[in-house]
Each structure stands twice: as structure tokens, then as C-alpha cells.
Structure 1
Amino acid sequence: MNPTLTRTLAYFKPYWKLLAVSALCSAIVGGMDGAFAYLVEPVLKKIFAGGETGIFLLIPLGIVALFALRGLARFTYDSTIQLAGQKAIQDIRNQVYASTVRMDMAFFTRRSTGELMSHATNDISTMQAGMANVVCGLFREILSACSLLGVIFYRNWQLALFSFVVIPLTAYPAQLIGKKIKRASGRSLNVMGGLTAILQESFSGIKVIKAFGLEGSAIERFRASNRDYFTQYRQYIKYDAMSMPVSETIISFGIAAVVYFGGSQVMSGRMTASEFFSFIAAMVMVFNPIKKLQNSYNSLQRSAGAAERVFRLLDEPRRVQERPHAVALGRSTGLVIFRDVSFSYGDEPILDGVSLEVQPNSMVALVGPSGSGKSTLVSLLPRFYDVAGGSITIDGYDIRDLTLDSLVNQIALVDQETTLFHDSIANNIRYGKPHATLDEVMEAAKAAYAHDFITQLPEGYDTSIGDRGVRLSGGQRQRICIARALLKNAPILILDEATSALDTESEQMVQKALDNLMQNRTTFVVAHRLSTVQHADSIVVLDEGRIVEQGTHETLLGAGGLYSRLHALQFSDSSAMENNGP
């Protein structure tokens, strides 16, 4: 069996009871097809040859009763098997989401958000359709076909050979067309991933699109991608539509042979008309499940293309992994040491031999030109990425020897992106401590200078802030993020451009909140605005991935190096702006 199909069907294993019920009911449905075809001959014989009209009067009642029982069995079969299929798909979707969320940050730099969304939605939906068709139809149609084949071989094995011999002949074209369907399906799903990416980018960046009047070009880009999807999907339509006519044409030779030779036997008296009609009924009925099996096979191939994409995502290894005997670290003192740390994105070196010792409860500022490696350096601390060379230790433990959960518990992050979720303010703050009480949430908000504006909102802490917090100002969003970090109460804090996108008034309010947050914590501050780091215990200046200077604000100004030049440039620009102001 195809390994992709085997792996997909393994998800049904926990729901074997539902499968057992559906198997029993499908046996009833399939067996009734054979029974109906078998009873045609004796019933017709008794009516027309024996003249038993009483049986004729009971036939309508028998037909209704037979189909009512068959309908009940089919209903039970379809409902239980589809329920099992939906549960299996639910497990796959949960696994895909969990696996994706747990991937390291390098994974997300390689994949677009739209592509990942397409895997979790379009690919799994395609798998679901295929599994429903295959698992729901396969067992029932095989049983039905086998029971009907038994009847036609019992009635007349010579004629049965004429009808049966053509069935294997349909296998080769079915397999050939099925492979083409699988390839076409995979290509169309790849294009759909790009289409989903365009949607995600357009809706998240709608403000930029409108501000620059790019609606027309955005629409044309979407149309071009949608046209590519149609081109690929058209191939799938062509092959799917081709499969049934090819099979029916091959089968027609068997039907023609049966009609000719069977009719000859009836005319020569070697076979009665009732026997021939019973045989024809069974033969016509047996081709129906065979055609359905062909459709199921096509659906299976389309599903397999989607399943392969999903399983490739599930099987992608994590670059950041927890070691087998990792240590769970309790609350650390906050002593952090970088020893000869190197890192690169692919072939592009970012950090080269960085060594830095940060004492507990101290504030270290990382400054330097854009692209010097400041944000990358602090991203290595929570193991968003792993170092390429050297090591990072917390309280003497290499962070690669710590459990991921205990490492994450040591660190709180506030960055310029102010990531908030479409939820209430209270629940957004609770991301720092999921089981926090409302009193704890309010205390964190007060320390972040957010309580006053929250209580003025229509529903207070229960106010929904909209997608990415669009209902709040930049300063309000940042204070919610600070409250979240305060509630987490981690001993190590990373502030990555936490005030860079704020106006002066908002920055002052946020800076007060940050001052509360930094108390009694080891703090790493990444900043372009040098005015915000003048009081740091140590300022580390990076350039091209190396530490070129380190010291206090006064020491570095007096040294006349890169920090001094950056400081002079920033403050000369500020003075020029003030002189040119109104």
C-alpha cells in the first residue's frame, strides 16, 4: 500500500469502534445488492413460469422494505464513517498547528505566512474530501462488487468471464490517469499556497496599499496568481473527467460480449430468459460500484498530493531542539555570559566572535548601525535560533542544556511590533501568566501605567481590542505589552526597540512603565535612540557583527569612537529639526 495512504489511514486507528459499526452496515448494504440481483431470477420464474400472482402482489411491499432496511444501514454506515473521518482530520489539523507553532524562528523566516495557512486549511480540506470519499466508499463498493460478482459467476460462469475479463483492463489507464491527477493536484495546491500568501499580505498591509493607491496593482497581482491556479487546476479537471469515459469504453466491450453470447444462449434454449435477466441485472449493478471505485481512486490521488505536502511539513526537523537530558532551571539570578558567539543566516554571517558578560540586575544597552547584529544577539538568548559557534550561559548553564520551557520562563520580551491578539485586554495581558487572576492583571496594568486608559474603555478589561490591537494607540498597545511582561515576572528582560515607533509624549509614558519593568531584572535594551540608553550600566557597541566598544555613556563619548560619532549624528539631527521647527 502507498506509504502516504498508510500513514493517513493510521489516524483512523483510535476510532476503530466507529469503523466496526460502519463495516457491519456496509456489509449489509453490499450484501443486499447481491441478494437483489440473485432474487431476480427465482421471482421472475415463479411469476411468469409458475403463474404465482400472489408473489407479484407482494413485490412492491418487498421492494419498499428492502430499500428501507438498506437505507437505514447506509445512513448508519455513512454517518459513522464520516464521523470517524472528521475526527481523524481534526487530529491531523491539531497536529499540523501544534507542530508548526513549535518550530524554531528560522523555520518562519523560510516560509511565508500564507503558505503555512494554506497547509492548515486548503491541504487538509483536500485530504478530508479524499478520506471521506475513499474510506466511506471503498469498503462498501468492494463488498457490493464482490457479492454481485458472486451472483453472476453462480448464474453463468462462462458469461461472467466475458464481463469480468475487461475489469482488470481498466486498471492500467486508471493508474496512469491517477498519477497525473496526483501531480496536477500537488501543483494546484502549491499555487494555492501563493494565492493565500497574497491574501494574507494584502489584508495585513491594506493601509499601505491604500496610502500608495496600489489597489489596482494588488488586484492584478491576485488575478495573475488566481489565473495560475486555474491553469493548474484545469489539468486536474481534464484528467478526472477523462478517467470515467476511458473505463466505460473498456467495460463496454465486456457488456457487448455478454449481450451477444448470452442472447445466443437464450435463443438456442441453453439459458432461460429469467436467468439471462438475472445475470444482466447483476452485471449492470456490478459495474456501478466499479465506477464508484474509479472515482474514489481519483479522489485518493488528489488527497495523496495534499497529504504529501502536509506530511512534509510535519516531518520537517526542528533546528532548535531540547536535548535528551536537559536540565529544568529554577528562577535564575540573571547572570548571562556570551562566549565567542557566532551566527549566520545561511551563508550570510551576522555575528562573529561576540563575548559579553552581563551581571544580575544590570542594564546593558546594545547599539550600533542597522544590520550590526543587535536584535540577532538577543534573539539567541531565548533560543529563537541556535548559535553557530560559541555558547550562551545563564547562571553557568549552557542554554542548550536547559529545557525549553524553563528557558522561556527566565525571559520576558517587549519589542517594537507590539504583538497583540484579537481578544480582551485582560486575556492579552494574561499571555504573560495564563492563570493569573483579574487582581494580578490589574496590578500589572497599574505598574505599566495602563490601568487608567483601560478603565475608560466601554468594557474595561473585557474590551476586545480588535485584530492586532487596532483599536488602541501605539503607546497604549506598548503599555499592554509591558503589563504582560510585568505579569510574567521573569528575571531576564529583552527590550528590542520598545519605544522606537512612539511619539515623544507616548514615549515618556512608556518609558515610565519600562522603568518599573526593569527593576531587579537583568535587562538587554536594543535601541537606535541613544537618548534612551544613556543611564545603562554598560553600553555595547556592535558593528558588522563584532563588539567594537563597551563602556558607560560618558566613557564612550570621551573615547571618540563609533558611539561618539553616532551620538553626535543623532543629536545634530535633533538640533537641526528644532531650529527648522515652527
Structure 2
Amino acid sequence: MSATPPKKVNVFMRLVGYSRPHWWRIALAAVGSLGVGGMDGAMAYLVEPVLRKIFSGKDTAIFMLLPIGIVLLYALRGVCRYTNDYFIKSAGQLAVQDVRNDLYAKNMHLSVGYFNRHETGMLMSRVLADVGMMQEGVANVISGLFRDGLSAIALLGVIFYRDWQLALISFVVIPLTVIPATKIGKRIKRVARQGQEKMGDLASILQETYSGIKVVKAFGLEGREIERFRARNSDFYHFTRKNIKYDGLSTPIMEFITSFGIAAVIWVGGSNVMHGTKSASEFFSFITGMVLVFNPIKRLLSSYNNLQRSIGAAERVFEVMDEKPEIVDAPDARDLGKVNGEVEFRDVRFKYEDDYVLQGVNLKAKKGEVIALVGPSGGGKTTLVSLITRFYDPTGGAVLMDGVDIRKRTMQNLLQQIALVDQETILFNDTIANNIRYGRSQATDAEVEAAARAAFAHDFIMELPEGYQTNIGDRGVRLSGGQRQRLCIARAILKDAPILILDEATSALDTESEQMVQKALNNLMKNRTTFVIAHRLSTITHADRIVVLEKGVVAEMGTHEDLLQKEGLYSRLHGMQFKETKSWPAG
């Protein structure tokens, strides 16, 4: 289950925590903020004495210098503002970059079961879209708190100094803005979170359709996918529109409420000027400061709305970061070194939710044995070998290596003992050489080539434009199915692990390629404990033992010849495949 969403305050403090390593940037930004706030306060304060000297004292020197002073003041203010914006936003960018790195690292350490339960597009959306919204919010909020907050404080100081009574009149309405601002902010956070969920739906559709584009086109379902995308995009717009509505309401509401304070100041202050109790220059200085102070306050309100959007996205991000991995090292787990290769399943049971997939499986593989797992689909073959790699832990019983429960080993040490060739050829958008050395990053070019030769891949690699340095594209799209599978086998050969798992390793190969790869696999399996999952029974007749799994239990076990003589499930499966082969029309 996902972790409980953290409270808003905790989320904000976690965001602030990511900013701490970049304190010096924030400190420089604070200096720039002081300059901006100080300039705003200085401009409001100097209005009264400058106007008094110019118009009352007829000081032409000050009048002549005034334009130059204004230009210099704004130039200095611009430098301070740039310093503030650059360093605070870069600090925010770096902080959110750290969040994205930590989120991706967290994803990489979560168990396989977590990825089976969640859509890939949703996980991508949290790393990209949600963190992106956090990035925008953190930069704007921190920037607003520093620059606009200090500007507001400086300007408030000026207007209270000029006339504290008028200042109180103008700001008596400010507390009234808190109520609508809070309500609008809560709605913005809720809508932002829902909108990000819809963005996750969009990302899921993109991931599914792009990765399955051949199937979409083969069935001519482009129109259906377009309509599905449009419907999800419309849902996303629905929440985005609400976000725009609430965000747009905040400023007009604030301005309307504060207008009562401004109107009261003009009426009271104007009356004082007309009655001679206050000079026009003093009143004009006060009005200037009051008008200026409302601008940073409005921007602070906007920053508050951005903060709510950020928190809505951050809650989704921290939900993933607070997720507890199902498969972790036990407190007493140790690096027990390299195994000889003996693997035992001792009364192993496993269930997905409430349905048992394996029920009391007992099986022992000696060093160097080849164990073939066969049986109807859904019998538990892939689940059984997934327990060896601890993609899952058994619900009951134990898996042992060399007589030791694999949970006593660290995950890193355990996976060093195992090489896997899956039925799904997983390759990366990288060079052939880097794909082969994926399991041994320090392998030399000569070792990579030797592994490729053993997998009968060297010849086709050398026919490619750049040989081993050829980039094979996303998921190896530039290679045939047989070529991709041979690269995966080369990767397993290079790892040189004592335990080998072949899950339909030859399923994607044509007859000629299968014969070559089968020879390579026979060499690879020497002195290694090998588990082979195969639907084509012709590929596992050489196995030391064949284990027939049906409905999560071991139905039969023995050699190919023994099981044929028993005339049980294996014999029936073999007979059906033999008939299919004989009845298949000749090419």
C-alpha cells in the first residue's frame, strides 16, 4: 500500500530541506532582495523631501539631478533584482533536481511488484510533470518570500513612519483578504493534485501507444487511440481550467477588498490636506508608499497560490519517496561470496493478493544441473524463477542457495550469482558493446567480443555500420528479434554467473538462429545450474530433469524419456506439439 500523504507543513519543510545544501545561493539572493526592498522603501521615503525642496524651496539643482538619480536608482535596483532572481531560481532548480534524482533512485530500489501494480506512464508523470510543477512553485515561492516580503516590509515601514494613523486605516482591511485567499489556495492545491493525476493518465496513454505502435497500426485503431487521448486530454483541461479560474479570482478579490482601505485613506488624508493639517507632499509620499506596498502583497498572494500547487504535486512525489520496498536486505544479511550453484525450493508457496500461484513446491537442483520448467500457461513457471532473483519473496517456505536461505544474502551479492535471459528482450538505447557489458561494466572489448562470438552474434555485429559501437535505438528497434535475443544471451554469457535463468530464451529466434544459439547455450550451461522455461518442448529434451508445473504444484518430474513413458501431462503436451509440427504446412 502507498504511504499516507504527508501533512502540508511536513511537505513544505521537506521542500525547504532540499534547499539547505544551496544556502550560499539563497544568501546572495537575500542580499539582492534587501537591495530591492531597500530601493522600494527609499523611493517612497524620498518622494516627500524631494518634492518639498523642488516645489517649496525652488531647488533647481535637485530638480536637474532628479532624472539622473532616478536612472541610477533603477539601475541599482535592476542589478539587485537580477541577483535575487538568478540565485534564488537556480537554487530552486538545484533543489528540485535533487528531488528528481532522489525520486528516480527511489523508483530504482522499489520492488518489481510495485511496478506491476502501477502504470509506467503514471510513474513517469511523477518524475517529470509533478517534479516540474514543484520546481516552478519552489522557485517562485522562495523568490516571492524574499524579494516581495522585504519590499513589503520596507514600504510598510515608510508609510507607518509618515502617518501611522492613515497606515492603520489602509491596512485594516488586509486581514479580510486572508479568508478568501486561504479558501482559494486549498482549492488550487486540490485541483492541482487532480490535474497531475490526469497528466499521469495522458503519460500512460503515450507510453502504451508509442511502445505498441505496431499493434495499433496493424489493427487500424489509430482513430480509437486518438479519441482515447482526446478524452483524457479533455479531463486534464477540465482541472486546468479550474486552476486558472481560482488563480484568476485571487487578485481581483484582493484588489476589491483593499480598495475600501485606499478609498478611506484618500478621503481622510485628502480632508487633512484641505484643512491644512498635512502638506500635499507628505500626503503624496504616503500615497506613493501605499500604492507600492500593495504590489508586493499581491505578488505574495500569487506566491501562496503557487505554493499550494507545489504542495499538491509534492504530496504525489513524496508518496512514492515514502513507499516502503517490499524486498529489502534482512538485518542479518551478509555478502556470503560466490555460490557453488545448488538451489533448493523448500515447501515454497506464493500468492498474488488472494490467489495462490505456487502451492508447496519442493525442488532441489544440484550444481551444474539443467532443470526445465514446463506446463500450461499460468502454472507458475515464471513466478518460481522470479523467487530465485528475489523479484518477490515467497509467501511461505524458503529458497536456498548452497543450503542457505537467500534472504541471508544481501541483494547485491545474491544478484551477482544469477544471469537472466528473459522472454522479453530488454535492450537499451545505447551501443551494442555497452548493451552486452551491461552486467559487467568493467569488461574489456576483448571480453565483450568473446561473449558475442559465444552467442553467435559477432558476425551480424560486424556487418553493422559501426560494429560494436553501433547504436541500436530504443529497445533495439534497429535489430531483428533473433539478433536482439542473441545480444541478451551474450550479456548473460559475459556476466559469467554460477546460476542461469532462461525464460523462453529462444522464443524469438528463427530456426537457423535457434540452432546457433542452442549450441551457445549448451556451452554456457556447462558447470552452471540452469533453469529453463520453455513452451517448445523440443528445446529442453536434453535437460537433466523436467519439472511439469500445473496450477502451482509439481505435477510430474523426470527426464524426457521417463515422462513420455508415464503418459501423463508432459506426454500429452509433447504429443500436441508434435501433431502441430507435423500438420504445419510445408514452406
Alignment of 1:51-200 (within 5 A): 51-200=58-207
1:445 matched to which residue of 2? 452
* Contact 1:145-1:290 within 8 A present in 2 as well: yes
- Measured after TM superposition, the shift of residue 295 of structure 1 is 0.6
* Contact 2:341-2:528 within 8 A present in 1 as well: yes
- Measured after TM superposition, the shift of residue 28 of structure 1 is 1.3
- The question of 1:463 aligning with 2:441 is answered no
Cα separation, 2, equivalents of 1:536 and 1:371: 22
Query: What is the aligned counterpart of 2:305 among 263, 278, 298?
Result: 298
- Measured after TM superposition, the shift of residue 477 of structure 1 is 0.7
Alignment of 1:284-323 (within 5 A): 284-323=291-330
Cα separation, 1, equivalents of 2:420 and 2:77: 62
1:403 matched to which residue of 2? 410
* Contact 1:478-1:510 within 8 A present in 2 as well: no
* Contact 2:485-2:508 within 8 A present in 1 as well: no
SS at match of 2:506: coil
2:586 matched to which residue of 1? 581
- Measured after TM superposition, the shift of residue 516 of structure 1 is 2.2
Cα separation, 2, equivalents of 1:429 and 1:329: 27
Look up the equivalent residue of 2:25 and give its one-letter code.
Answer: L
2:5 matched to which residue of 1? none
Cα separation, 1, equivalents of 2:278 and 2:437: 82
What are the Cα deviations for residues 328-368 of structure 1, in whole angstroms up to 9, with x where unaligned?
Answer: 02111001111111111111210011111110111000011
- The question of 1:340 aligning with 2:347 is answered yes
SS at match of 2:58: coil
- Measured after TM superposition, the shift of residue 308 of structure 1 is 0.3
* Contact 1:152-1:282 within 8 A present in 2 as well: yes
Once the two structures are overlaid, the 10-residue window that deviates more, 255-264 or 567-576, is 567-576
Look up the equivalent residue of 1:378 and give its one-letter code.
Answer: V
* Contact 1:430-1:484 within 8 A present in 2 as well: yes
Alignment of 1:265-414 (within 5 A): 265-414=272-421
What are the Cα deviations for residues 521-562 of structure 1, in whole angstroms up to 9, with x where unaligned?
Answer: 100000111111111011111100001111111111111111
What are the Cα deviations for residues 377-410 of structure 1, in whole angstroms up to 9, with x where unaligned?
Answer: 0001110011111000111221111101000100
- CA RMSD, aligned part only? 0.9
1:259 matched to which residue of 2? 266
Cα separation, 2, equivalents of 1:507 and 1:232: 53
SS at match of 2:359: strand
Cα separation, 2, equivalents of 1:475 and 1:502: 4
* Contact 1:89-1:124 within 8 A present in 2 as well: yes
- Measured after TM superposition, the shift of residue 35 of structure 1 is 1.1
* Contact 1:482-1:517 within 8 A present in 2 as well: no
- Measured after TM superposition, the shift of residue 499 of structure 1 is 1.2
Cα separation, 2, equivalents of 1:234 and 1:511: 59
Q: TM-score, normalised by structure 1?
A: 0.99
- Measured after TM superposition, the shift of residue 194 of structure 1 is 0.5
Cα separation, 1, equivalents of 2:291 and 2:403: 79
SS at match of 2:348: strand
- Measured after TM superposition, the shift of residue 247 of structure 1 is 0.7
- Which ranges in structure 1 are unaligned for 5 or more consecutive residues? none
SS at match of 2:345: strand
- The question of 1:417 aligning with 2:424 is answered yes
Cα separation, 2, equivalents of 1:261 and 1:461: 84
Equivalenced residue count is 580
Cα separation, 2, equivalents of 1:49 and 1:148: 25
Once the two structures are overlaid, the 10-residue window that deviates more, 341-350 or 286-295, is 341-350
What are the Cα deviations for residues 217-267 of structure 1, in whole angstroms up to 9, with x where unaligned?
Answer: 111111111111111111111111111111110010000000000000000
Look up the equivalent residue of 2:473 and give its one-letter code.
Answer: G
- The question of 1:533 aligning with 2:548 is answered no
Cα separation, 2, equivalents of 1:255 and 1:513: 86
Moved over 3 A (4+): none
Cα separation, 1, equivalents of 2:553 and 2:586: 38
Cα separation, 1, equivalents of 2:355 and 2:125: 29
- Measured after TM superposition, the shift of residue 501 of structure 1 is 2.6
2:39 matched to which residue of 1? 32
Look up the equivalent residue of 2:311 and give its one-letter code.
Answer: A
- The question of 1:43 aligning with 2:56 is answered no
Query: What is the aligned counterpart of 1:499 among 499, 506, 511?
Result: 506
* Contact 1:414-1:482 within 8 A present in 2 as well: yes
- Which ranges in structure 2 are unaligned for 5 or more consecutive residues? 1-7
Look up the equivalent residue of 1:160 and give its one-letter code.
Answer: A
* Contact 1:338-1:354 within 8 A present in 2 as well: yes
Cα separation, 2, equivalents of 1:7 and 1:166: 33
- The question of 1:214 aligning with 2:213 is answered no
SS at match of 1:420: coil
What are the Cα deviations for residues 144-197 of structure 1, in whole angstroms up to 9, with x where unaligned?
Answer: 101111111111111000111111111110000000000111111101100110
SS at match of 2:360: strand
1:481 matched to which residue of 2? 488
What are the Cα deviations for residues 261-315 of structure 1, in whole angstroms up to 9, with x where unaligned?
Answer: 0000000111100000000000000000000001101111111110000000111
